[in-house]
Amino acid sequence: MYIYNALVALVKGEWSQYNLDLAISIDQYGNGLCRNLFNQLFIKKTGDVFPHKFGNIDETISSVIGKNKVTGTLTWFGRVFDLILNTIDPNHSIDAIDNTEN
């Protein structure tokens, strides 16, 4: 299936968009799949500020990291993960914030 779709995308000049769409869908799937682990490792337990939880399959992991960065609810692990993302792509988590998902 992948090979067929990849070849069609390549022929139609849609290779980059096809791969971007796949990467986003895998990221969203990971957000849902790893919700409990990520909520435990990356988000502070706080009563003052309501953190944005992982688990929405319509939102990327980077978007959730960015929202928690803005509210200051990332744990040490969350800040390290954010640093890794931002080393690869500067300002990645903030740029990835999807305000259509709550």
Q: Give the pLDDT of residue 24.
A: 93
DSSP 74: B
Residue with structure tokens 């903030």?
94
pLDDT at residue 50 is higher than 90: no
Computed over every residue of the chain, the mean pLDDT equals: 93
Rounded to an integer, what distance in angstroms lies between the CA atom of residue 7 and that of residue 100? Answer: 33
